[in-house]
Every structure is written in structure tokens, then in C-alpha cells.
Amino acid sequence: MALGTSRVGHQGFSVPAVVAGVSNMTEPEVAAGSAVAGTRTGHRVPISAGIVAAIASLTVALMVPWPTTVLAAQRTEKSTAVPVTMDWSRPVYYLPTNRRVVFITVDDGIDRRNRWLSLISSTRTPVVMFPTGEMVTPTPRYWKLAAALGIRVENHTVSHPDLRWLSRYDQRWQICHQSITVRAIAGRRATLFRAPYGAWSSTTMWAARSCGLKYVVQWDTVVDHGNISYARGGLQPGSIVLLHLRPDFELDLQVTLAAARQAGLTPALLTDYLR
Ligand SMILES: [Zn+2]
């Protein structure tokens, strides 16, 4: 199934139908628990005493340190950003670029434990998260800490509906209201929108645009329970990878970083490229 023609995506916690043609594909070389590749990028952690203390406490909480030798990898310069003009007739599924970068995105937020933030922070992995409002509202401090650690927080609606079945008014409310929540916890406007289940309509595109979002961003790669599924035959330069914050997050992040390293790609922050 060609990307962009499907409007049905993942079922929340399963492999999305948007890559249905490859939903059973796994990458046998990427073994569960395989070596972890972290990369140092231009993704910087803000400096302040409180944040440094938070990072220190989280790092201490790491029971199994990840390899540090891989941290001396290449930097991603923000000046290398590829100009991408949003085509409002359809979402972005990957970035058309020859640059050796891959983008890691993490959705929802069912399992919110500090360990996930410390893993991301200690490996200096650039990550964009798309929590729903229902995952943010009960634990705003968690998301404020995520933002303080340099994790980019963007818009994934208030309550994770299949937007195709909602009215224009309700779609717009789901998106605009979540942008208010993102601003409250991240201190900045959301610029990216991701439709739940990868399900969207032309009304969704209109609603996201009218709420001031700059890009509607889906994915071309899914990592789920340690299995990786591709819509383009493998990780490619500019691939956008979908993970979820749930109990398998550490394994999924390890698999993602190992696959990126195997493909010779460096994780980069999606919002450095979509600005
Ligand atoms: Zn979701």
C-alpha cells in the first residue's frame, strides 16, 4: 500500500495499517537486546542548576548504563536543515533528503516513568514526543521535565480519537486545545501535528493548519515490541520512526538505535528539519 494513499494507521498499540504491506516484516539482524548505539548530536540540554540536578538524579537512577563509547559520534548541525514545504493535501511520512539522518518520534505516553527520560537524556538521543492531552494533564511535571531535558513535545490531540469520524468543529477542538496544553508544559507553540492511528482526512489537514500547526507528520517505520517494520524497504535517509512510551520502550529504543547505526544513519531532531 503506497504511503499517503492510506488513511488508516496504527491501532494505538499495534503496527500501523499505513505500513500494512509490511506490517509483518521484522528485521532479524536487529536482535532484541542488541548493542545500543547512542549518538551525540546538536540536540542540546538546557543548562540550569535545577535541570542539571534533575539530569544527575535521573542518570544515577540508571541501573544499566548504556555504552558510552558510541557517544562520540557525529554532530547534526542545525544549519543543514532541509527545506521542506508542507503540502497540505497530505501528511509528511518521511523527509526527502540524502542526508544520513533518521528521526525518532515517540507517541502517546501510557507508561510514564523517569527511566525513559533518563535513557533518552543519557544517550543524547534527539526525540520528538507526541503525547495526548489525556497523558499530559494528570502528570504535567513529567512532561515539563521531558521538555527541560531537550525532548521536543508536539501535538497528538486531546483524547486520541479517530479524527475521520469527527466534525470539523470537533477535529479543530481536539487539535487546537492540545496546542494550548503543549504551550503550557513546553513554553512554546507546537509546530507539528500527528493524527492518532495515522487516520486523517482533508478536514484534519484543514483543522491542523487553522490551529497554527506547520506540519502534519506521520511515519514510514514502526518499532513495536522490539520488532521493526518498514514502509520503504528499510531505514532510509529521512525516515521517521514511530515508537510508543510503554513498557517495551527501552527495547524499542535500543532496536531503533541499532538499526540506525546498521544503516549508517544518525538520529536527528525532526523539528530541526521541519521548521
Ligand atoms: Zn497515538
> Consecutive sets of 10 residues in the chain, 275 residues long: mean pLDDT of each?
38 32 30 32 44 47 35 41 81 95 97 96 96 97 97 98 98 98 97 98 98 98 97 96 97 98 97 93
The amino acid at 93: Y
Q: What is the pLDDT of residue 70?
A: 31
Q: Which residues contact 132 (CB under 8 A, 6 or more apart)?
A: 108, 109, 156, 157, 158, 159, 160, 178, 196
pLDDT at 35: 31
Q: To which residue does cell 503506497 refer?
A: 2
Distance from Cα 107 to the centre of ligand 1, integer Å: 5
Question: Cα(71) to centroid of ligand 1, in Å?
Answer: 30
Question: How far is C-alpha 57 from the geometric centre of its chain's CA atoms?
Answer: 24
Please choose, from the candidates 274, 266, 269, the residue with its C-alpha nearest in 3D space to the C-alpha of residue 149.
269
CA 196 – ligand 1 centroid, Å: 5
Degrees to nearest 5, angle at CA 196 with 195 and 200: 45
pLDDT at 80: 53
- Residue 113 Cα to ligand 1 midpoint, Å, equals 18
Contact of 104 with 125, CB cutoff 8 Å: yes
What is the Cα–Cα distance from 41 to 132, expressed in whole angstroms? 27
Contact 205, 90 (CB under 8 A): yes
Q: Rounded to the nearest whole angstrom, what is the distance from the C-alpha of residue 156 to the centroid of ligand 1?
A: 7
| 243 C-alpha to ligand 1 centroid (Å) | 10
Residue-level pLDDT at 82: 60
CA 160 to ligand 1 centroid distance, Å: 6
**CB-CB contact of 148 with 54 (8 Å):** yes
Q: How many CA atoms lie within 13 A of 39 on its CB side?
A: 29
Fold of the 35-77+87-273 domain: TIM Barrel (3.20.20)
Distance (angstroms) between ligand 1 centre and the Cα of 223 equals 13
Q: What is the pLDDT of residue 29?
A: 30
Predicted confidence at residue 51, as pLDDT, reads 54
Distance of CA 84 to the CA centre of its chain: 18
Q: What's the CA-to-centroid distance between 146 and ligand 1, angstroms?
A: 18
210 CA from centroid of ligand 1 (Å) = 21
Domain ranges of the chain: 35-77+87-273
For residues 181 and 195, give the distance between their C-alpha atoms in angstroms, rounded to a whole number. Answer: 16
Contact between residue 72 and residue 209 where contact means Cβ atoms under 8 Å apart = no
Strands (E), the chain: 101-108, 127-131, 152-153, 192-193, 215-216, 221-224, 227-230, 239-244, 266-268
Q: How far apart are CA 112 and CA 142, in angstroms?
A: 7
Q: Where are the alpha helices (DSSP H) in the chain?
A: 49-60, 114-122, 133-136, 140-148, 168-186, 202-210, 249-262, 270-273
pLDDT at position 85: 85
| CA 108 to centroid of ligand 1, rounded, Å | 5
213: CA distance to ligand 1 center in Å? 17
